[in-house]
Structure 1
Amino acid sequence: MPSYLLFATERYALPILQPLADALLATGHGVHALLVDGAAGATLSGGVQAVDVARAVALKPRAVFSAANWVPPFLGGAKVQLFHGFNVEKRDDARGHFRVRGLFDLYCTQGPLTTAPFRKLARQQGHFAVVETGWPKLDPLFGPEDAVAQDFRARAGGRPIVMFASTFTERLSAAPHLHEAIAAQIAAGDRYWLLTLHPKCAPGLFQRYRALAGDNALFFETEQLVSAQRAADVLLADTTSVVSEFAVQRKPVVTFRNRAPKPHMLDFDRPSWLPVMLDRAFAADEALQLAIASYADGIHPWRDGQSSQRVIAATEDLIAGRLGALRPKPRNWLRHLQIRRELGYWGRAG
């Protein structure tokens, strides 16, 4: 059976890659992982073998699945972009979600709001294909609830559950501003809190939020994010892409100073308003519920937990030529050299 390679540069990519790894392993394929930078030293479960760069090249994988903005061009196989988050408009399109770097053969998009812009770019540039598959990270949201999510619910003891997540981008992060308000809510004890921060947040913030854990709150790690989303009833966040992931479940989201607030969000800008906004979320009216459902259908209509299988099928279609002929990718030699230098690899390409 052919071997496939998973590529990540941050720990938050692991929950994106794990469902895809599980789907590949279930069909008997060999699966290896090249985990670098912030993901270095991490592991994927189920028999995924971690490899270094030289070994990844030697594998000559059939395809490389990337949950990063880039992928080493000197690796063999089809280069498939999975995305590391939804488009939450942190940056303009030219610099953000819809930036094409000339490294990928296939973009596996999450839903119509992403698919349409990438198909337009594909028609213009011609060197990559686009298939709407849904996002592997969300497969576990629609399958059986895992043991971690069940444990979170058990800890809540029947209380409603609020999840808090925050981006690391300093100008957009709610974490520095909401700590006291969240601490007061946790102390009240009428709701249970699941707390997490982006791995790149400042160490001092981690210390402050970890200190809130106790009978009424738990701090969890990035790898448990999907389980926490399954368990939580309401999300409190900012401009993190977790807002979109959570809304896909048709659950209410409360956002603090979101960069581009939408009708499906309950956005506020004063920490003192937090109790009122949470009350509104837990008593979501019909208009809010309809707005959440409309947004969810636009970004990720797939609710069958089979996005990983669609990614595999789309990749095989690409390799077999069923997605049409592609132009050669642009020869960005400078970027290629930068990637080699970053990874410390100067050997032959795969």
Structure 2
Amino acid sequence: MKTVLFCKRPYSFGILRPIHNELIRLKEDILWYVDPEIVEHFPFKDDTSYTSSLQEISDFKSDAIFVPGNVVPHYLRGVKTQIFHGLAGEKKGHFRIRNYFDLYLTQGPYFTNRFNELAAKHGDFDVIETGWSKLDALFLQKDNFDTEKLNLLEKHQAKQIILYAPTFSPSLTSAELISDQIIELAKNPDYLIQIKFHDLTNKDVKAKYNEIAKSYQNLIIVDDPNISKYLILSDLMISDTSSVVYEFLLLDKPVITFKSTSDNIKWTNIEAPHLLCKTVESVLNSDINQADRKWIIENYHPLRDGKSAQRMVEAVKQWVNQNGVPEKRKLSILRKWKVYKKYGKIKL
């Protein structure tokens, strides 16, 4: 099966890499599409075939295209497979059908049930629950960083690691609203605070926190597109309305959010910045949400064996065997125009 791994944003690298590894294991033919704007950040240049040319992708004549984003050019050959870039179903557009995809691979029942309802309504795509490839490393490596964590705590003379991972969306992010409270937390020598920003976070916000970090040895800005390691290392997460909240919850560890808009809050959420420091202390002393987290685990991603990429590849192979390989995707004139505007035209 000739496969394209379609990257528009850097967060796609960690989502698609497990699928790449599974396809390599099966000795399949792979070509990465890496958007020209992010190709300098592509971490797998030395061990894979990649291009920033859609013409090359078209000439490759793929059987399948795995897409963590919302759009894929309709004129490319292959079963266009939506694999998502997060678990935050409450975010605007998560369940929006844009008509670009033949197949949706879902993470758990909460998502599967919704997309099955939409599939019945639209009638032109299928849904298969496979789990999410990005989380394979989370489950397979969850015990791999024990020594590193001990060394980090000893180096910084801290007792616990707190991860702050805000979303980038201007209407949802907490980054500017609770910056003073993050500073207060950094003044507590018991805490080692690691901050991981979204790829699209405002540059001025990042610069502000980088400046703050210069004054506190126990406040570290993480510059790594793959957050999984830092989820594993941390004892507590602080966030807002970010998909990464659910990834952390799947490790059965406590979360504090600021003004989350989630429909399924099974953790501690605060509405005022001044409550943060006191809440951190309280949650670390008493994990009152452990029972509620089980609902998230069972509904958002119950498959915890680290084999989601394998299931995803198998699901696509099965779909192709049953339906054949689509030469292109039927779209409205408006959708086609948006694709041409975003990606341009190619020679077919």
**TM-score, structure 2 as length reference:** 0.90
Residue of structure 2 equivalent to 1:17? 16
Residue of structure 2 equivalent to 1:97? 94
Distance 1:64 1:175 in 2: 35
Judged with a 3 Å threshold, the aligned counterparts in structure 2 of structure 1 residues 74 and 329 are, in CA distance, closer, same or farther, namely: closer
Q: Unmatched 5+ residue regions in structure 1? A: none
Matches within 5 A, 1:43-192: 43-45=42-44, 47-51=47-51, 52-91=53-92, 96-145=93-142, 151=148, 154-157=151-154, 159-192=159-192
Judged with a 3 Å threshold, the aligned counterparts in structure 2 of structure 1 residues 343 and 41 are, in CA distance, closer, same or farther, namely: farther
Residue of structure 2 equivalent to 1:338? 338
Deviations 1:219-277 (A, max 9, x none): 11351311111111111000011111111111111000112364422111222211221
Give the letter aligned to residue 152 of structure 2.
R
Distance 2:220 2:31 in 1: 33
Deviations 1:109-132 (A, max 9, x none): 010000001111112222111000
RMSD: 2.4
Distance 1:263 1:139 in 2: 24
Residue of structure 1 equivalent to 2:259? 257
Aligned residues of 1:11 and 1:38 also touching (Cα < 8 A) = no
Distance 1:139 1:60 in 2: 28
Distance 2:159 2:6 in 1: 39
Q: What SS is found at the alignment partner of 1:259?
A: coil
Q: How far off is 1:284 after superposition? A: 3.6
Q: How far off is 1:155 after superposition? A: 2.0
Distance 1:146 1:41 in 2: 32
Give the letter aligned to residue 274 of structure 1.
L
Residue of structure 2 equivalent to 1:221? 223
Q: How far off is 1:192 after superposition? A: 0.9
Distance 1:78 1:18 in 2: 19
Aligned residues of 1:80 and 1:105 also touching (Cα < 8 A) = yes
Q: How far off is 1:146 after superposition? A: 8.6
Judged with a 3 Å threshold, the aligned counterparts in structure 2 of structure 1 residues 293 and 126 are, in CA distance, closer, same or farther, namely: same
Q: What SS is found at the alignment partner of 1:136?
A: coil
Q: What SS is found at the alignment partner of 1:177?
A: coil
Give the letter aligned to residue 57 of structure 1.
S
| Range with greater deviation from structure 2 (2-11 or 303-312) | 2-11
Matches within 5 A, 1:270-281: 270-281=272-283
Aligned residues of 1:167 and 1:240 also touching (Cα < 8 A) = yes
Give the letter aligned to residue 43 of structure 1.
F
Matches within 5 A, 1:305-320: 305-320=306-321
Residue of structure 2 equivalent to 1:29? 28
Judged with a 3 Å threshold, the aligned counterparts in structure 2 of structure 1 residues 269 and 258 are, in CA distance, closer, same or farther, namely: same
Residue of structure 2 equivalent to 1:296? 297
Task: List, as ranges, runs of 4+ consecutive aligned residues in structure 1 with deviation greater than 6 Å.
Answer: 146-149
| Range with greater deviation from structure 2 (214-223 or 118-127) | 214-223
| Range with greater deviation from structure 2 (138-147 or 188-197) | 138-147
Distance 1:38 1:148 in 2: 33
Q: How far off is 1:280 after superposition? A: 2.6
Distance 1:325 1:204 in 2: 45
Q: What SS is found at the alignment partner of 2:127?
A: strand
Q: Unmatched 5+ residue regions in structure 2? A: none
Q: How far off is 1:147 after superposition? A: 7.3
Residue of structure 2 equivalent to 1:199? 199
Q: What SS is found at the alignment partner of 1:321?
A: helix
Q: How far off is 1:38 after superposition? A: 5.2
**TM-score, structure 1 as length reference:** 0.90
Q: How far off is 1:202 after superposition? A: 1.5
Residue of structure 2 equivalent to 1:238? 240
